[in-house]
Amino acid sequence: MAALDAVLTRIDSNLDQALDRLFALIAIPSISTDPTYAADCRRAAEWLVGELQSLGFDTALRPTEGHPMVVAKARTGRQGAPHLLFYGHYDVQPPDPLDLWETPPFAPRMADMPTGKQIIGRGVADDKGQLMTFVEACRAYKETAGALPCDVTILLEGEEESGSASLPAFLAANRDELAADLVLVCDTGMWDRETPAITTMLRGLVLEEVVIHAADRDLHSGMFGGAAVNPIHVLAKIIADLHDETHRITLPGFYDGVAELPPEIAEQWRHLPQEGHDFLGDVGLSEPAGEKGRSLQEMLWARPTCDVNGIIGGYTGKGSKTVLPAQASAKFSFRLVGQQDPEKIAASFRSFVHARLPADCHVEFISHGASPAHQLPFSSEALTRAVAALRAEWNTEPVLAGCGGSIPIVGAFKQDLGMDALMIGFGLDDDRIHSPNEKYELSSFHKGARSWARVLAALAG
């Protein structure tokens, strides 16, 4: 405990210098999607290599077909020390529209706001400020104890904001080098300004496009209406049949692998200060439309979904055109949880559609990808230790949150490397990531570094 206290004290005394380092990184316009900034992406990677080398990490800039990876290793030499793989990304979104920025996006600044001090600049919350909280925690350990409490490998990529095109091949080629006991991911957020969160589950995704074909051309609705099949009607019936009156999804086998929440987690979620009317009110809605009998948080985090994301058919221009269209199409997304199998869900959906086709129709399916859900077991010892570490820093119970969306890298670590991920970040919902005037709270940066120091100590046992 004395060693940890020294580390925390060093983080506090290093804060001004830590901010200087963060500002220097933010000032590099590492925009991965625009080839114009390729040299800047490499410059950001080289800057990180230099910082990590100065801390004694065995660090290398690793080339890819796109922007380089940064891989850094620090070993304790202690037998039985847990090995952690920390993941972050140094690339950022384009700052456009520039005229909406109050100050230049790559000239970071500190602002005094009613909620406290904020750091303003592109990439400060997504993900440079987040990854630097971990680097500053490592720095404090190196400067006070001379070593980290765990074996640590750091992987920083430069294409997360443009699809991580080089990452799958890099993971496959370096599987043994990157293997660890646990992945730490910082690209997530807190519940609110005073309450930390650990994201324990991510929903998977199945994306399917359906095209219903009928007549060999569009038909005059006066001459053929009532006799010829209308593919829009067929598609509408299929869509309507996908949910029952309680909004449960009717695909055979759809809920295979969907487990109920542990009672203590369900109870925590029921008492989170977010009601349906508050959450939906911001977008002009009022009542949750998901499964009956489920809390809002269950609907968003722990239950699977089926949604229609787009539908096209017939004449969609101005005015009227009386036709029976030759085809109609729709795009579907299924958010998956637990142990749902994406391939089985896709197969069940296709069988469901085939069973509802009239004799004169045929269907074309287009897959747009599939990925499984990810869940860190609630019984995980690493989760228990991380909860205790965050509780000690923030003096409140961390929220064991879910995420309605997907973080592909977490799925890749699980599927390709067999590693679970502990997702801890210190961003806030109002950080304006991907938008003008992106910000990161000074408290998120400072207490984020202190939190990582505590988490490392806790995981080391």
Assign domain 204-258+304-371 to its CATH architecture: 2-Layer Sandwich (3.30)
Alpha helices (runs of H) in 155-273, residue ranges in sequence order: 167-173, 175-178, 221-224, 231-241, 263-270
Per-residue model confidence as pLDDT tens digits over 433-451: 999 999 999 999 999 999 9
Q: What is the pTM of this model?
A: 0.86
For position 279, what pLDDT does the model report?
79
Which of 319, 313, 290, 310 has the alpha carbon at shortest distance from 302? 290
3-state secondary structure of 367: strand
pLDDT score at 23: 98
Report whether 171 contacts 419 (CB < 8 A). Answer: no
**Kind and range of the H or E run holding 74:** strand 69-74
Closest CA to 301 of 390, 401, 394: 401
What tokens were used for 386? 């991380």
> What is the distance between the alpha carbons of residues 43 and 167, in angstroms, rounded to a whole number?
19
* Composition of the chain by helix, strand, coil, percent to 5: 40, 25, 40
Q: Quick one: tokens of 76?
A: 């304790």
How far is residue 272 from each of residues 49, 378, 383, 419, measured CA to CA in Å? 41, 18, 20, 29
Which ranges in the chain are annotated with CATH 3.40.630.10? 2-202+373-460
Among the four given CATH numbers 3.40.710.10, 3.40.630.10, 1.20.120.160, 1.10.357.10, the one describing domain 2-202+373-460: 3.40.630.10
- Collect the ranges in the chain with pLDDT lower than 70: 1, 274-277
Instruction: Give the CA dihedral 99, 101, 106, 112, nearest 10 degrees.
Output: 160
- Reported as a single tens digit per residue, the pLDDT across 220-255 is 999 999 999 999 999 999 999 999 999 999 999 999
Q: What is the pLDDT of residue 406?
A: 74
Burial 344-353 (b: 16+ CB within 10 A, else e): bbbebbeebb
With vertex at residue 104, the alpha carbon angle to CA 98 and CA 108, rounded to the nearest 5 degrees, is 135
Residue intervals of the chain classified under CATH 3.30.70.360 are 204-258+304-371
Instruction: Tell me the sheet residues that pair with 264.
Output: none
User: 313 — phi, psi (to 5°)?
Assistant: 180, 140
Quote the DSSP letter at residue 339.
T
CA distance 248 to 153: 43
pLDDT at residue 275, rounded to an integer: 57
Give the per-residue pLDDT at 270.
84
The DSSP H or E segment spanning 52 is helix 38-54
How many CB atoms lie under 10 A from the CB of residue 166? Answer: 20
pLDDT for 272 equals 84
Residue 421: how many CA atoms within 13 Å on its side-chain side? Answer: 30
Q: Which residue has the tokens 């005037």?
A: 437
Report the distance separating Cα 249 and Cα 262, nearest Å. Answer: 22
Residues comprising the chain, all counted = 461
Q: What is the pLDDT of residue 283?
A: 83
CA distances from 447 to 20, 311, 444 (A): 17, 46, 6
Question: Terminal CA-to-CA distance of the chain, rounded, Å?
Answer: 11
Q: Please, where are the H alpha helices in 274-407?
A: 276-281, 296-297, 342-354, 381-394
